[in-house]
Structure 1
Amino acid sequence: MTELRIMRGREWSRPVRPARREVLSAVPEVEEGRPPLLFVPGFGHGAWAFAEHWLGHAASRGFPAYALSLRGHGGSEPAPEATLRAYAHDVVQVAAGLPRQAVLVGHGAGALVVAHALARYPARGAVLVAPVFGGWGMLSTAVRRNPAGTLPAVFGGPLRLSRAQLFSRELPDEEARRYVARLGRAGRRAQWALLGEPEAEPAVGAPPVLVLGSPDDRVVPASTLTRIARRYGSAPLLFPGMGHDLMLDARWAEPIDAILDWLEKEPAAR
């Protein structure tokens, strides 16, 4: 039997700088041996976005749940020059420290980070929620729908997403304003990486991958959801009427319950 070794010279010649990372968690009252979930927020979001609803809900159904703030986000260490590679490193390091082989759940650009982390971490499974994999097609859509918030990011400024892009009209304005006020910004180098949609290496161990989102998402077109799902050999699971931030929108329980139902049939069963 031939042993296959993947040599990544850059990994040891130019290692990612360590950073202090914020990790929030919620665990079941009774341990059932289910795989832990590691939630990875998109650019500008922190672990708080999952702590609002999804962490506790996952724990109530028996899944240990953890949410990571990528460096420069939430309560993690500031990192204005962070790269996509550094974000993927954060995910791998936190996942490796969990008690069991984890399921990685990435939202928005965090889904792209998860795709890159899967090449370095043998995940039990992965879920890509409203995945932002970048590319010029998605950029043109963002510029058309939110020019004032998108164009500055092209030149190294902050990416500002609007209430209309993130949430449905069902979410009360007071809640929407509170969430938008908490948004930060990603490193400019990581933002630029989205323009080229850097291709992720194949996932270690070919874990099952679920792609889900909303056909009414004003950030990720439905065609993009279909394209990314096909990449992983499936069709997207859709939630009409919801905005980009499914974990914070008015009907937040529907997608997380669908994720947990899938986990009980796929990764958890394995």
Structure 2
Amino acid sequence: MAAVGAILAATSPRLEINRMRGATITNTSHKTRVPYELKQGQSRNFHKLPSGLNMEFIFQKGSEKNLQSPPLLFIHGSFHAAWCWAEHWLPYFSGHGFDCYALSLLGQGESESPAGAVAGSLQTHAADITDFIEKEVQLPPVLVGHSFGGLIVQYYIACVENGVVQEKGSSCLSLAGAVLVCSVPPSGNSGLVWRYLFSKPIAAFKVTRSLAAKGFQTSLSLCKETFFSASMDDNLVLRYQMLMTESSRLPLFDLRKLNASLPVPKVNDSSIKILVMGAKDDFIVDAEGLSETGKFYGVSPVCVEGVAHDMMLDCSWVKGAEVILAWLGV
């Protein structure tokens, strides 16, 4: 979440995704100091983007009992990487027959970093996802985006539904569906910040200290309050705190430029099946933010009880997974 000074007026972004060549490789020049050990059945790979940079992804193949299920492609938010999905949700959904891919966006996890002060923009992150889908995924996937990753997924939906023409005259790649998990709403995080300032000033201070000032990296209690349920084991929080600290070498966005480019373009009568879900105990995205996203897509959002912002890592992670599984029709 941005500090108040980072909030700018919203304008419509230019829809643009460039499509170029990429390839899977098996090595990378960046290694995190706190490595994530893969679980059984998972593999760490690297997709070479048109820029020449290597993007990490963790893959787990689905069981043979549901061969026609669409692949799931997971997109993390700020301070996270592919590992946050590999902990619980990749084993869970692969066990129900879904091929699962979790990306680490550039400058995050073991992906390489672009030149500059930030990892990218909505446009560049969406372009990287497009290139990955085209080269690595056999069928139209369901995109699952968390927090700011959810905002990237929203932009991608707009690109698909508005028929954006990419380089060389090809259209954006189709999707089998999209899931927005505790997502930043289409207007960005500025509304969240202002509501916190006027209704919950202490919470606003904590959120700003935790995220904008990265206080979650050094305070275990603040990390827990920001991302997890109060009942979460401290040892687990400490482990995830270390992984989150190592995961984000660059900010995902320039938040001033991002907020100036929002809201994401409106999609009328979307043909893409969309699930909007939030967490009852979310310290970052409030109920009004969740409602905004649901109204934007004309769907009733699902608010999961007893779980916090990091729904895929929380001690009650299975609650959110079960909602998605039911929505997928399995």
TM-score norm. by structure 2 comes to: 0.69
Aligned residue in 2 for 1:65:
100
Aligned residue in 1 for 2:45:
none
**Alignment map for 1:129-208 (pairs within 5 Å):** 129-133=181-185, 134-140=188-194, 141=196, 143-152=204-213, 162-183=223-244, 184-185=247-248, 186-187=250-251, 189-196=253-260, 198-201=262-265, 206-208=271-273
* In structure 1, C-alpha distance between the alignment counterparts of 2:54 and 2:309, rounded to whole Å: 28
1:231 aligns with 2:269: no
Report the number of matched residues.
253
Which of 123, 126, 133 is 1:95 aligned to? 133
Aligned residue in 2 for 1:34:
69
1:123 aligns with 2:175: yes
* In structure 2, C-alpha distance between the alignment counterparts of 1:197 and 1:108, rounded to whole Å: 17
Aligned residue in 2 for 1:110:
149
* In structure 2, C-alpha distance between the alignment counterparts of 1:241 and 1:93, rounded to whole Å: 37
* In structure 2, C-alpha distance between the alignment counterparts of 1:188 and 1:209, rounded to whole Å: 24
Query: Quick check: which has more Rg, 1 or 2?
Result: 2
Query: Matched residues, percent identical?
Result: 30
Aligned residue in 2 for 1:213:
278
Runs of at least 5 residues in structure 2 that lack an aligned partner in the other structure: 1-13, 20-48, 160-171, 197-202
1:7-27 CA-to-partner distances (Å, cap 9, x unmatched) read 968859xx9845211110111
SS at match of 2:131: helix
Q: Is residue 42–residue 108 contact of structure 1 (8 Å, CA) maintained in 2?
A: yes
Shift in alpha-carbon separation, 1:8–1:149, aligned structure 2, 3 A: closer
Aligned residue in 1 for 2:57:
23
* In structure 2, C-alpha distance between the alignment counterparts of 1:136 and 1:9, rounded to whole Å: 24
SS at match of 1:178: helix
* In structure 2, C-alpha distance between the alignment counterparts of 1:210 and 1:53, rounded to whole Å: 20
Aligned residue in 2 for 1:4:
none
* In structure 2, C-alpha distance between the alignment counterparts of 1:9 and 1:40, rounded to whole Å: 19
* In structure 2, C-alpha distance between the alignment counterparts of 1:70 and 1:151, rounded to whole Å: 19
SS at match of 1:25: strand
SS at match of 1:218: coil
Which of 75, 91, 109 is 2:110 aligned to? 75
Q: Is residue 212–residue 236 contact of structure 1 (8 Å, CA) maintained in 2?
A: yes
1:248 aligns with 2:313: yes
